[in-house]
Structure 1
Amino acid sequence: MRGRSLWNSRRLLLLTSILLIVGIIIVDYQLDKRVSHPVNGPDVLRDLNEALDAMDYLHDSKNGRAFIRPVFEEESEVREYYWRCSIEKPKRIILPSTNHSWTTNGDFHLFSAYVDTRANSLYPRNQAVQVLAMRFRMPNATVYCNLHSEERSTVVEATVREIWQRGWDPRGDFFVPLLISCPIPRWMEGEKVSVQISSGMCASRETAISVSVPPSPRKDKKVAVCVKGLDFQEDLSASLIEWIEWQFLFGADTITIYVYTVSPATERVLRWYEGQGRIELIWIDLPGDDSPHIPISQSVYMKRNRQQKRRHELIPYNDCLYRHLNSHDFVLIVDIDEIVVPLEHDDWIGLLNSAESSANGRVISSISMRNVFKFPRNETFTNSDILPFYSNRIRSERASKRGDYGKSFSSTRTVATVFNHFALHRLHKNVTHTLHLPERTAVKLHYKSSCPVESRAECPDLTRNMVVDESLDRFAGKIEERVREVRKRIGL
């Protein structure tokens, strides 16, 4: 009787488990039908499959077998549905603005779009509209672009690239940054266009975004500095003035800064520089109705969701790349606690000319500098209030390993997307990997309040073995003069 009872218990447990799983699937199906964006709805089987896929990828990565997405595209056929699709003109076209909100097309949240006339391996005979967008999870079906000019419209198949490599984090349950490339039919080239994104072949959308044409080229070599979305409640005005002046002293032609929220004192400094025409401010928020949009809630959300924050940062970086596509030869992506210092030249232009000469004819994607940490110490000068960066005279003796925390000048002539530390997707197969400069040539000073958690194994060495940093000494007089003048004009 006892054995029979145990058998019955097992059968009952199995039956209960089956019924529970079926019930979850039914409820999940009903919920999926009810939500406005099914991609965001719960899906137990999908979530399980994605989790297993991420685990498999991590296992393959550990054993050196993980697939790495290509960083350049093979030629793709231009598939146009001019005759097969009858789509309506957009009822509303969103124009570029420095107060930037997202435009939602179904599951896609569009940030900006630019005409790209550069030669490339993907559409070698066509110009393209490059759309920067985010979507919850990578799309797994064909994506289409609705292109509208004043007189006519057409639909083309898009090429979608995630601005991410799975080796950095293989999980897919995030808003992912996308570059959506829409080939422009030859008969539409040169026309003012707007674009919509759709998962359906001939699906009309009410809202489109205007496609920007980057400014015309200039003859002299220029560097544009790009800064991710600032999200700071504290007053950064003193350090920000010095940081901005370092960028201009070393050769920045312009600085584009994206802003979530900053303190009134910090905003005052930013607005002053903007009024002088020296920097460009782009005020941004997060995509999607489900994302927090109140400043405090937004800040808490990004601090608690570090991997999502890293993905969000890539949209402003790449928007900055495309804003300066024609007008600048390089974009430099840095944070406001980082200063790239040329050690063998007086400015970045000399540094870049020398680096390109040393490439021996290779086509460069980006030029990277080694990272050197500078942590808070007691060794400061009396002018520390107006020069907080220069006054920190102590650095870690050892530079970070090549590529770790490094920052790069990325070429606007050769790359399709950029990552925080280097160029990612390239326009052609023959474009080389990142060129890493030796520490004697240039360094990136990285001012941190404490040793980063990612370097926990090296932190004892980085924080204990310190040396005097003299890399900024020869520029000290000029930077102090500049900072004092700006503070006087702002009224600080």
Structure 2
Amino acid sequence: MRLPPISPRRSFYIIVTAFTILTLTWYKDSSCMKFPEISDLEYAATSWQLLSLENGSVYFYGAYWDPRFEEPLVRILVYSDVSPLPKLYCQLWFPNDNEPQTELATPVYGWQTAWYGPVMGVNEPYILTCTCRRHPPEKEVAPVAVSVVTGPCGETSNVLNIQNAPFSKHINKRTGMSSHRNDSPIVVCLKWLHYRNDISTSLVEWLQLIKHFGADEVYIYILRIHPNLRKVLKYYVDQGFVVVTGFDHAPQVSGLKQSRSTRDFHDLRRELLPLNDCLYRNIMQHAWLLAIDLDEMIVPPANKTWSSMIERLIANTTNGQENKPLDALVFQNYFVIDGAQVDLEGPAKTRILSHTWRADAPSPPGSMEKSFVNTSSIIAMHNHQPLVCHEPCSVKYVDAAGPGRLLHFREKCSYNEKDCPELHDVVKDDTLGSWRQTVLEEIKHVLQILDLDPLE
């Protein structure tokens, strides 16, 4: 199979693969399991390695070290168009070992069966989970790489470096979080940017606000973006505030014909991969994760931060289980529609800061919600709430009175009807007023530095 052009992400994998090959210096030809050469690897797209099956494919994106629970685990983010998913095995490659340790992979379905899945011929998200506890008498160390095969002694066409693994450290009998975890408060995940038009002012506004609210880092995935957006992202990357990851979708090679509405519904599954990648890259770095879009903002009480808001919400929560952490804080959605604005409190190009007339009533329960999720317990992410937790998910629905409110800024009503409540049943909500002047000056400053069009 012809390999795709070299990309930064693929170059990184090649470097890691070469390093791992050099590390595994005592490979024996007598073993039935051979560490793959670079020429053995199959790529379906720039970011995706491939395992071909008789009736479909498995696409591999990334592997991650997960020490949060009783046993150390390796999690692998994959998509597959085969249903049911066949039995798969992890070949775990350890430092200075001559052959891998093979473990049966347990798939966690990254969607809901109640949402019409899995479907044969459609790429479905899974998180493959493999224990990586060493078999005696081997020392307890973390693996450096993992391959996925269809049999315990199968040849492999893929190898992934294991992100976050403590390669140089021995692992305790119970790998608790306390000795390794760096609980910086909050990471924000933006599923992807795919904008050919210039929305640089909106991106600067969004980033400056969440910086004031106390975000420690922002992970942004990009598909195709306007050159001015690249200038903005580089500015914040250089500050250490934004982490940018180039991204492409796993190919849908099935010949299954779908209507546009069905295709769009299946496309929702693709949004989950960057969110779960963001989760597993940060389980050791941040206590809370927020996945929101550029047209959304969870606004804390005036002059407060997200961290203080979360502390207040947790202090007022009793979930009936003293030793069980709260897995998510769920906020109801309030639309802020362009056509509902009676007046503007700032430049029209800064929609979040200038639009203050929101819907009086929130969206129906279960619709458009967003959550702060606890990274110590979540296994599978969704845009709105966690899908899978270590134990049954424990969530708190934030009361309409707050503290905090999710505002969703839209050009027009999301309903098909000519009229909708969000256009006429509105109230003035100027909670953002306490940040407005400061953030507007910051936006002007950033736009000037980057030689972008001014606000006015």
Give the TM-score category using the shorter length.
Answer: 0.7 to 0.9
Residue 128 in structure 1 maps to residue 89 in structure 2: no
**Bigger CA drift: 269-278 or 106-115?**
269-278
Counterpart position of 1:109: 59
Counterpart position of 1:446: 408
In 2, distance between residues paired with 1:280 and 1:100? 19
In 1, distance between residues paired with 2:209 and 2:302? 17
Counterpart position of 1:204: 155
Structure 2 length normalisation: TM-score? Answer: 0.78
Q: Secondary structure at the match of 2:191?
A: strand
Counterpart position of 2:281: 323
Shift in Å, 1:358:
2.0
Counterpart position of 1:175: 123
Indicate if the aligned counterparts of 1:394 and 1:468 stay in contact, CA closer than 8 A.
yes
Q: 1:393-425: per-residue Cα shift (whole Å, max 9, x none)?
A: 221111113332110011111111111101111
In 2, distance between residues paired with 1:253 and 1:139? 40
In 1, distance between residues paired with 2:327 and 2:119? 27
Q: Secondary structure at the match of 1:207?
A: coil
In 2, distance between residues paired with 1:211 and 1:396? 45
Alignment CA distance shift 1:304-1:238 (3 Å): farther
Shift in Å, 1:102:
0.9
Matching residue's letter, 2:215? A
The higher radius of gyration belongs to 1
Matching residue's letter, 2:313? A
Q: Secondary structure at the match of 1:486?
A: helix
In 2, distance between residues paired with 1:208 and 1:142? 18
Aligned residues: 388
Alignment CA distance shift 1:403-1:304 (3 Å): closer
Indicate if the aligned counterparts of 1:108 and 1:197 stay in contact, CA closer than 8 A.
no
In 1, distance between residues paired with 2:237 and 2:260? 26
Counterpart position of 1:262: 225
Matching residue's letter, 2:264? R
In 1, distance between residues paired with 2:343 and 2:39? 54
In 2, distance between residues paired with 1:189 and 1:421? 37
Shift in Å, 1:266:
1.7
Residue 156 in structure 1 maps to residue 156 in structure 2: no
Alignment CA distance shift 1:345-1:217 (3 Å): farther
1:279-358 paired onto structure 2 within 5 Å: 279-288=242-251, 290=253, 305-343=263-301, 346-358=304-316
Shift in Å, 1:275:
2.2
Structure 2 runs not aligned, ≥5 long: 1-29, 167-179
Q: Secondary structure at the match of 2:448?
A: helix
Alignment CA distance shift 1:363-1:273 (3 Å): same
Higher-strand-fraction structure: 2
In 1, distance between residues paired with 2:372 and 2:390? 16
Q: Secondary structure at the match of 2:338?
A: coil
RMSD of aligned residue pairs (Cα, Å): 2.8
Indicate if the aligned counterparts of 1:345 and 1:351 stay in contact, CA closer than 8 A.
no
Counterpart position of 2:182: 218
Identical-residue share of aligned pairs (%): 24
Higher-helix-fraction structure: 1
In 2, distance between residues paired with 1:188 and 1:440? 54
1:372-411 paired onto structure 2 within 5 Å: 372-377=334-339, 379-381=342-344, 383-411=346-374
Matching residue's letter, 1:464? H
Indicate if the aligned counterparts of 1:367 and 1:410 stay in contact, CA closer than 8 A.
yes
In 2, distance between residues paired with 1:115 and 1:218? 15
Counterpart position of 2:202: 239
Q: Secondary structure at the match of 2:430?
A: coil
Alignment CA distance shift 1:113-1:385 (3 Å): same
Q: Secondary structure at the match of 1:218?
A: coil
**Bigger CA drift: 129-138 or 182-191?**
182-191
Q: Secondary structure at the match of 1:231?
A: strand
Indicate if the aligned counterparts of 1:255 and 1:280 stay in contact, CA closer than 8 A.
yes
Indicate if the aligned counterparts of 2:325 and 2:394 stay in contact, CA closer than 8 A.
no
Indicate if the aligned counterparts of 2:302 and 2:434 stay in contact, CA closer than 8 A.
no
Q: Secondary structure at the match of 1:451?
A: coil
Structure 1 length normalisation: TM-score? Answer: 0.73
Alignment CA distance shift 1:191-1:433 (3 Å): closer
Shift in Å, 1:195:
1.0
Indicate if the aligned counterparts of 1:93 and 1:209 stay in contact, CA closer than 8 A.
no
Q: Secondary structure at the match of 1:211?
A: strand
Counterpart position of 1:276: 239
In 1, distance between residues paired with 2:334 and 2:39? 46
Shift in Å, 1:188:
6.5
Counterpart position of 2:35: 89
Counterpart position of 1:419: 382
Counterpart position of 1:63: none
Q: Secondary structure at the match of 1:182?
A: strand
In 2, distance between residues paired with 1:270 and 1:303? 33
Shift in Å, 1:166:
1.7
